[in-house]
Amino acid sequence: MEQKNLHVAVVGATGAVGQQMIQTLEKRNFPIGTLTLLSSERSAGKKVMFKGQEIEVQAAKPESFETVDIALFSAGGAVSKALAPEAVKRGAIVVDNTSAFRMDENVPLVVPEVNEEDLKWHNGIIANPNCSTIQMVVALEPIRQAFGLKKVIVSTYQAVSGAGAQAITELKSQAKAILEGASFTPEILPVKSDRKHYQMAFNAIPQIDKFQDNGFTFEEIKMINETKKIMHMPELEVAATCVRIPVITGHSESVYIEVEKDAVSAEEIKHVLKEAPGIVLQDDPSEQLYPMPADCEGKSEVFVGRIRKDLDRDHGFHLWIVSDNLLKGAAWNSVQIAESLLKLGLVK
């Protein structure tokens, strides 16, 4: 990586994703000269440690981006819509974790293992895909390259950290209340701004984000549309059902795919995934080896197992895909995009 002392800003620095971004920047020894940490007024003045030094969090304003080279945004769509253009106006490249710009045709939507080349046509903003989409396309792309891909049907088992720091607190306090026989009132999940809230502890909720007119939730629509955009396959058939489960970190996915090529074996799929970037193959039924969220927490790779050929359809396969939603699903993919920008000479 080209070594520069960059001015990096993290917007949403006190949030579930922002905290992981700061730790990932430190772990990767990203070439930072100045780190600016931004939040809302609520957290302004808080101190956050970076490389053994305390940095004071500031309230995000347009002027916060003067002299910033790269700004990593994860403070919600409204903040990105308001402040990302201000950052770009001041010369920063924005890597945005929210859904604000993902389907904008002037904004590349990037998972470096899949479509790093799309960074070359950015216009200041680069979108980081939805967490559940990222881990799925990392596993689908090498299969597509080797055998072609026609159809994807995914059911997710998503962790509460995907809904932010407040959802983690809600799950923990609910579990405690239920075990102690105390009463509780759900306030955050499934969607803080929706009308009804449900028990998350010891439960499964088949709603992530709000319902659309077609009966799908917005999370499901994001998975469908973003997969097609990242893989440059508008014709790919994709369907999704997204479910929240009482796991704190690590999204799991049961994925059914149909490939183009005839007579492919499960062993061939495993071989391709074993060699693919960013993937750890964990697949040995004789040893009860398969990926689980508790094992993937804190790791940056995508873990794949339970690979089987469908019993009825020659072109059909089943996979189980697990990854840390706060790392590959958010913070690590964003920092990886920033590293790719440096590698490709795209930072001024």
Ligand X SMILES: NC(=O)c1ccc[n+]([C@@H]2O[C@H](COP(=O)([O-])OP(=O)(O)OC[C@H]3O[C@@H](n4cnc5c(N)ncnc54)[C@H](OP(=O)(O)O)[C@@H]3O)[C@@H](O)[C@H]2O)c1
* Residue-wise burial string across 87-102, b where 16 or more C-beta atoms lie within 10 A, e elsewhere: bbeeebbbbbbbbbbb
Is 214 known to sit in a ligand binding site? no
Determine the residue with CB nearest ligand X. 15
Alpha helix segments (H runs only) across 28-151:
77-89, 112-115, 131-147
Q: Which is nearer to ligand X, 160 or 257 (CB)?
A: 160
Q: Contact residues for ligand X (CB under 6 A)? A: 12-18, 39-40, 42-43, 60, 74-77, 79, 97-98, 131, 161-162, 164-166, 325-326, 329-330
251: annotated active-site residue: yes
**Sequence-distant (≥ 6) Cβ neighbours of residue 286 within 8 angstroms:** none
Give yes or no: 271 in active site. no
Contact 60, 39 (CB under 8 A): yes
Residue where the block lists tokens 């409204």: 78
Give me the residue label for tokens 């990105």: 80
331 annotated binding-site participant: no
**Catalytic site residue from 7, 122, 242, 251:** 251
Are the C-beta atoms of residues 46 and 57 closer than 8 Å to each other? yes
Q: Which is nearer to ligand X, 74 or 336 (CB)?
A: 74
Question: Annotated binding residue at 243?
Answer: no
Task: Please say which residue, 106 or 169, places its beta carbon nearer to ligand X.
Answer: 169
257 and 321 Cβ atoms separated by less than 8 Å: no
User: In 138-195, at which residue ranges do the beta strands (DSSP E only) sit?
Assistant: 151-158
Is 162 marked within a binding site? yes
Give dist(CA 22, CA 62) in Å, integer.
21
Catalytic residue among 131, 242, 296, 315: 131
**Nearest alpha-carbon partner for 178 in 199, 157, 204, 207:** 199
164/190 with CB nearer ligand X:
164
Q: Please state the closest distance from residue 74 (CB atom) to ligand X, in A.
A: 4
Task: Find the shortest distance in angstroms from Cβ 181 to ligand X.
Answer: 30
Contact 296, 322 (CB under 8 A): yes
Smaller CB separation from ligand X, 18 or 246: 18
Residue ranges for the binding site?
A: 14-17, 42-43, 102, 158, 161-162, 244, 325
Which residues does the annotation mark as catalytic?
131, 251
